Chains A and B, each alone.
Chain A
Amino acid sequence: MNTYTERNRALLQFIITPTILLTAALLGGLRIDAQTRQFIFIAPPLVTLVLAILLGSLFIRAGAVDLRQWLSIEQPALTNLSHLLTLLSLFFASAQVFNSVLPESGLLHWMFAFFFLWTLWTNQFSLFDPRRLLKSLIVLFGTAFVLKHLLVSGFYAPAGGWFKWIGAALLQGIAIDVPAFAPLTGYISFFALVLYVVGLLLIGQEPLRPEASSSASLAVKEVALPANQTYE
Chain B
Amino acid sequence: MQRKLVQISGIIWTLVYAAIIVWLYATEPRSLKEVATNSQVAAGAYEINQERFNNALALFHRDQFRAARDEWAAADPAQKDSRTQFYLAYAWYREGWGRVYYDNASFKQGLEAVNRAISLAPNGMLTVDDPQLQIHTAAELKTELEQGTETSWKDLSPLKLFRQRK
Contact = CB atoms under 8 A, between A and B. Distances in A.
A18 B17 contact: yes
Nearest to A33: B30
Nearest to A89: B14
B100 interface: no
Nearest to B5: A10
Contact of B6 (A15, A39, A85): A15
Interface residues of B, number: 21
B29 to A, nearest CB: 6
Contact of B10 (A3, A6, A18, A39): A18
A163 interface: no
B4 A22 contact: no
A41 B15 contact: no
A6 B7 CA distance: 12
B10 A22 contact: no
Interface string B23-60: 01100111100000000000000000000000000000
A121 interface: no
Interface in B111-139: none
A15 B9 contact: yes
Contacts of A22: 14, 17-18, 21
A135 interface: no
B7 A79 contact: yes
Given A13-B10, A19-B13, 14 more contacts: A3-B2, A6-B3, A7-B3, A10-B7, A14-B7, A14-B9, A25-B21, A29-B25, A40-B30, A43-B25, A82-B11, A85-B10, A89-B18, A208-B3
